[in-house]
Amino acid sequence: MSVAVIHEISQPLSTLAIEARHLKSQADGLAPDIAESADLVDRKAHALSELVRRLRRFGGPGADEPSPLPVALMLRTLEQMLAPELRARNCLLEVDPPRLIFWYWHRKSNLLRPWST
């Protein structure tokens, strides 16, 4: 998510959180359903504020270094997720990571090889 989008979300959210906290503090002595609603709005505003804070940190300068993607695990998980729908359509998905890795490296080496005339 872009920093500009996060900024546009966080500005009105900050105002909402401040007003929700004020509303909650003023709800004492009012009808229980009003106090509960004020508390709910305050909690949700706080949760959204925390989410925006976490999103702001995500991908920022303090983010983790890139890490390897476990392609074989990802493909097997995808295979499991799609299995019911594929069976219903009489389709078969075979995941063969060693063959996939071989194909990738073969393809990459061919792309890197200079063209001969």
Q: Count CB neighbours of 13 within 10 A.
A: 16
pLDDT value at position 114? 55
Taking only the tens place, the pLDDT of each residue in 43-84 is 988 888 888 888 777 656 555 566 677 777 787 888 888 888
pLDDT value at position 61? 59
Selection from 71, 94, 72 nearest residue 82 by Cα: 94
pLDDT value at position 113? 55
Question: Would residue 12 count as lying in a domain?
Answer: yes
CA 71 to chain centre: 18
pTM: 0.45
- 53 and 78 belong to one structural domain: no
Question: Would residue 31 count as lying in a domain?
Answer: yes
Question: Would residue 66 count as lying in a domain?
Answer: no
- 75 and 52 belong to one structural domain: no
Tell me the residue range of the domain where 106 lies.
Answer: 71-112
Q: Which residue has the higher pLDDT, 53 or 108?
A: 53
- From first CA to last CA, the distance across the chain in angstroms is 46
pLDDT at 17 over 50: yes
Question: Would residue 7 count as lying in a domain?
Answer: yes
